[in-house]
Structure 1
């Protein structure tokens, strides 16, 4: 078998982990491999290390027929050896890069502050219930916000870069506090030797010139909630007094253009059953000048009418692939096309991205509530099942370790037998705890398309992979699988 593409740098080899901490061994070829085809022929995806190989058509056909038919899983290793598949153990083969051993709790590297748990818009699909998370509206006191910065710097690895995020509700309703925290964190980080970056998620309806100047003066990633053109956006986002939330967003973009643009400006589209054609929305967002436009299905919302269900994921996948095909055509021709979901997938595959968790929630990333509680992420604020300590007492290392042990993808069902598990990581914790995993077929379908697109883009425009663009938004869950 000849290697088609050695994806980026191979992960470092390591000694096998103790069996006492591991999940059961290899599950079989259907869980460890995926045959796919591109314009260049047949290929093999190996889950361990997210490796891609050229595969002779005869071997591809035999492997597909074998995994589709009933067979004794004990014979999989013999077939793999006969075909020369680079899989498990044996002479000259490395130990698996991921097993069921939970990750060690890492130093904290990113902390989001829920500075205003209230919002000026009313959106039925908002996971945060306008920032209230099922409770009452409240704002983070100044001393709590400063304590959050101190805690992040104290818990971070020496000299490591850290990210301070601002979430809500609508964080710019607490703009004075945001400005104060940026100044404080910049000074404090310089004193401790930590480079501090910032991220903010906003509906952009209340941004002022001073905010734009702040974003431009500091290393900021700003993510803007966008639901389409004026009709589509206003149908899902109700402004007080009956005004147009879309026109206010457009006015906010003009403020950024006149007074200062952040280092990275992205649009995030929350997809509901009421969302219009995704390709139209994608191109509309690109036309508005965003550096990146991405989609996320609304799987859990206070009003179930806004949730994407199992029956509607098929249409969602078709539309996502339509957007991906457009991105592939443009990028292969050397033209920019900032479809965030596609670009994230391409870079992750190219660098051999593979992980046993969907994101850094509860690991290197935590979120602070207005009262100073620490939670696994900004979507899980005020959820006692994901409480991770407090700013006053520090992160609860036991709770973080238990979280990482319980949610390792090799210990989850049905995840542990899925070929896409190390690209997906098991799914967003917020969504899984509330809705289960209704989107697994969608995720596999999207990733299967991305595998083909990666091979074709690598051949058509290898220069694309020399200048990656990545978002600094903290705690972004399972972007590759979206």
Structure 2
């Protein structure tokens, strides 16, 4: 008996590499159902196939019989061969696309600059502690910022595009420096044949016309921190003098609309126990005119009262799925519905996205502190465990290699026994280092919904995948690192 049809694009064939012990069939596959029948998800390559119902039932019984770790690999391979499943180890199937071999350290492709490690708002859920990262407020000197850009270009692959990100705190408190860096990076990139793109994360309360003109004149992605409507936003963000942070954000949007919008303008909602109904927040953000709106649960915050704990993830999943069902219905009807989490998941499933790491942090992406230290990402600035060199001396290749070796998802527990591991990558390094992995059941639940939605959207609106490209999708606003 054989699988009937692979849905979506075929991922690239793997490079030859050493084999490694696989954790068992339950970690390699997931049977799921949609309105169109039974299907098989294969973790290696993020492949999706249609299945005969009888095969689906047999696989479900097999994988439920015992734990992934206890399965006999030989018996798994025999079952795969008998059923004609496209799993590694079966006849005619190539070696796995991902094994336990750590990735080689790639050239640097993206660098964020913490140009202002201070903020004009006070938010209890801010992972950066108002940009101070547990230390003192400080600004990046101009010579450090220029040297960081020069370092990025020097470390990049010849002719490759690069991304310069601006982070904080609130980076627009250092607007003169931001403008100068854009000018310097554009000229430096032109001299060396490196196309430079830019990204900036902001609360949008201090944006000026000249900033909007800068965003419109250059290839900018701008991510705006949004927490809901006026009441929901202001309960989490305290503005100086007691004013409304939401009113200032709306005024900032008006500045962008009048003087120049960036190439991509997104809203990022940090979900806390105080966040209102997610669908209401999502549609409010869409109504404000953002190109996409996405959610991220606050797992690690200076004040634990703002963290989403393990018990709260069930409710978070229910609300995310509600938003996803709405997105599925709207997109299937041919109407735009820019729910960022959903659109990204659909694209990654369609293209066979799979990776042994959650992002490019410590690999193609690093972040520079105000003093010129290099760290794995903008969330890990000033954390000595994730320091990876300096702007002056260059990236520490040994530290980057150790990072990639230690954090490969197939070397992590319980990740290596999870069917979703190559879609998740093991979880945000910042969150795992501070809180562990409290959201694993949520991640599996969200991805299980996305698998069903992917099949149904492929049937009802295949044109969505023809017109969606990576540039249409949100990314880490500072890293764009995957």
User: Fold match, TM over 0.5?
Assistant: yes
**Partner residue of 2:30?**
34
What pairs up with 1:157-176 in 2 under 5 angstroms? Answer: 157-176=157-176
Query: Which residue pairs with 2:461 in the alignment?
Result: 461
Aligned: 1:46 with 2:42: yes
**Aligned match of 2:473:** 470
TM-superposed CA distance for 1:90, in Å, is: 4.2
| Cα displacement (A) at 1:68 | 1.1
User: Distance between the aligned counterparts of 1:2 and 1:316, measured in 2?
Assistant: 35
Per mean C-alpha deviation after superposition, the further-off stretch among 56-65 and 287-296 is 56-65
1:73 alignment partner, one of 65, 71, 74: 71
Q: Partners of 1:146 and 1:398 in 2: how far apart?
A: 25
Change over 3 Å in CA distance of 1:268–1:477 after alignment to 2: farther
CA apart distance, 1:2: 3.9
Alignment of 1:170-185 (within 5 A): 170-185=170-185
Match of 1:216 in 2: 216
Aligned length: 473
Distance 1:348 1:432 in 2: 23
Q: Matches of 2:102 and 2:276 in 1, distance apart?
A: 41
- The residue aligned with 2:247 is 247
What's the TM-score, normalizing by structure 2? 0.96
Structure 1 counterpart of 2:443: 443
Task: Name the CA distance, whole Å, in 1 between partners of 2:401 and 2:429.
Answer: 15
Question: C-alpha deviations, 1:407-435, integer Å up to 9, x for none?
Answer: 00000000000000000000000000000
Write the mapping of 1:201-280 to structure 2, written as runs, cut at 5 A: 201-280=201-280
- Between 53-62 and 419-428, report the one with greater CA deviation: 53-62
Inter-partner Cα distance in structure 2 for 1:465 and 1:3: 21
Deviations 1:8-41 (A, max 9, x none): 24212332x235xxxx412211100000000000
**Structure 1 residues 222, 239: closer, same or farther in 2, change over 3 A?**
same
Aligned positions of 1:371-390 closer than 5 A: 371-390=371-390
Between the aligned partners of 2:438 and 2:349, the Cα distance in structure 1 is 24
User: Are 1:98 and 2:98 matched, yes or no?
Assistant: yes
CA distance in 2: counterparts of 1:465 and 1:168, whole angstroms: 35
3-state SS in 2 of match to 1:366: strand
- Residues in 1 aligned to 2:158 and 2:448: alpha-carbon distance in whole angstroms: 40
Please say if residues 159 and 194 of structure 1, whose CA atoms lie closer than 8 Å, have aligned partners that are also in contact: yes
**Worse-matched range after superposition: 60-69 or 450-459:** 60-69
- Bigger Cα displacement from structure 2, 140-149 vs 63-72: 63-72
Q: Distance in 2 between matches of 1:281 and 1:163?
A: 30
Corresponding residue of 2:295:
295
Instruction: Tell me the equivalent position of 1:358.
Output: 358
- Secondary structure (helix, strand or coil) at the match of 1:451 reads helix
Contact preservation (8 Å) 1:428, 1:477: no
Report the TM-score when normalising by structure 1.
0.96
**Matched residues in 2 for 1:141 and 1:70: separation?**
58
Gaps of 5+ in 2: none
Residues 269 and 28 of structure 1: CA distance in aligned 2, closer, same or farther (over 3 Å): same
Q: Secondary structure at the match of 1:236?
A: coil
Specify whether residues 3 and 202 from structure 1 end up closer, same or farther in structure 2 by C-alpha distance, changes over 3 A only: farther
Report the Cα offset of residue 397 of structure 1: 0.2
1:476 shift after superposition: 6.0
State the alpha-carbon separation in 2 of the partners of residues 377 and 157 from structure 1.
20
How far does residue 81 in structure 1 lie from its aligned partner after superposition?
1.7
SS of 2:224's equivalent in the other structure is strand
| In 2: Cα distance, 1:312 partner to 1:376 partner | 29
Deviation readout 1:349-391 (Å, 9 max, x if unpaired): 0000000000000000000000000000000000000000000
Question: 3-state SS of the aligned residue for 2:388?
Answer: strand
State the SS of the aligned residue for 2:166.
strand
User: For the aligned residues, what is the CA RMSD?
Assistant: 1.2
Residue number in structure 2 paired with 1:148: 148
Q: 1:344 to 1:278 in 2, by over 3 A?
A: same
Where 1:200 maps in the other structure, the secondary structure is strand
Q: Label 1:296 to 1:328 Cα distance change in 2 as closer, same or farther (>3 A).
A: same
Which aligned segments of 4 or more residues in structure 1 are displaced greater than 6 angstroms?
Answer: none
Helix, strand or coil at the partner of 1:445: helix
State the Cα deviation string for residues 86-137 of structure 1 (Å, max 9, x = none).
1122431100000000000000000000000000000000000000000000
Distance 1:122 1:477, change over 3 A: farther
In structure 1, the gaps of 5 or more residues are none
